[in-house]
Amino acid sequence: MALDADATLGEAGEFGLISELVKLFPGDEHVLVGPGDDAAVLRIKHGHVVVSTDLMVEGRHFRRDWASAEDVGHRAAAQNLSDINAMGGTARHLTIGLAAPADLPVAWALDLARGFAAECASVGATVVGGDITRADEVVIAVTVLGQCLQSPVLRSGAQPGDVLALTGRQGWAAGGLAVLGRGFRSPRALVEAYRRPEPPYAAGQVAAGAGATSLIDVSDGLLAEAGHLAGASGVAIDVRRDAFEVPEPLQAVGAALGADPLQFILGGGDDHSLLATFPDVASVPDGWQVVGEVRAGEGVTVDGAAYDGPTGWTHF
């Protein structure tokens, strides 16, 4: 029986909603058992299995008045798909858990699922299961499984003498968040970048094939992620300001807020660009931009000195 278009989760019930959600998540040839049983069963033929989990909490990671349910679905999928990309792998299958108030409209949950499914389909990944429960606020929990045909690229392989390179849009989502936080909706390009990131999904495998020595996705902030590479590898990383061209929308927001627009690039996350180290400039693939270098030592500097601006998002 089809659900009423205006039904809430409390009226539909767990299994009523699940019956509608399952229709939105088709399987593929690797799925032996999909949604509907106690667990999914998958077939992996070659390479390494890579797994990641992320949470999104309403009021902390998203607001329903800032983004549509489909936008939230795209964002929830993108941040997980990007984690597999950052290992040099390809995302294959995901599970999604939804905790929500009983008065949340079913239509919102279905739109969330549509956005999630559309983002997954953009890389050929499918949803194979999940869970639903009641909560005081919306919480989305996602686990993604992917495949690396070669050895995964870790955060811990950078060496002194390597170059640091970036690919993908960077700083746009942070600019959009700053705009929304002040009650505005323009520049629209930045707001849309926050609502629906565009990770460079093909770039992780390209980096791995080009011999990247370390790799990470920029989810919390470029300098913060560079710090993770430096810490895991036991090296120092220096980032160059002059490597970045600040796009006009970020210049406009910086001028309006009285802020250095470069702070959105250096400290912004949620675009899910990729940051990697390569042995030398010649090994950096097309589409990547050299933005710094790896040195002996520890920590991250900007133009050889400590940076006193925001370096990224902190969860606590």
Least confidently predicted of 34-38, 122-126, 170-174: 34-38
Q: Which two tokens stand for residue 257?
A: 């807020």
52 is annotated as contributing to ligand binding: yes
Query: With contact defined as beta carbons under 8 Å apart, do 206 and 293 qualify?
Result: no
Known binding residue 273? Answer is no
Instruction: Tell whether 219 is in a known binding site.
Output: yes
Tell me the C-alpha distance between 300 and 105, whole Å.
Answer: 46
* Per-residue pLDDT at 14: 65
300 φ, ψ (degrees, to nearest 5): -125, 135
204, 88 Cβ separation under 8 angstroms:
yes
Q: Is 83 annotated as ligand-binding?
A: yes
Domains contained in the chain, CATH given: 10-148 (3.30.1330.10), 163-302 (3.90.650.10)
pLDDT confidence of residue 45: 72
Which stretches within 61-154 are classed as H helix? 69-85, 106-121
Instruction: Give 144-190 pLDDT, tens digit per residue.
Output: 999 888 888 999 999 999 999 999 999 999 999 999 999 998 899 99
Whether residue 130 is annotated as binding a ligand: the answer is yes
| pLDDT tens string 195-237 | 999 999 999 999 999 999 999 999 999 999 999 999 999 999 9
CA 79 to chain centre: 2
* 54 marked as part of a ligand binding site: yes
Element (H, E) at 146: strand 139-148
313 annotated to bind ligand: yes
Predicted TM-score (pTM) of the model is: 0.87
The mean per-residue pLDDT over the stretch 94-107 comes to 96
The verdict on whether residue 286 carries a ligand-binding annotation is no
Give the alpha-carbon dihedral of 71, 113, 9, 18, to 10 degrees.
-170
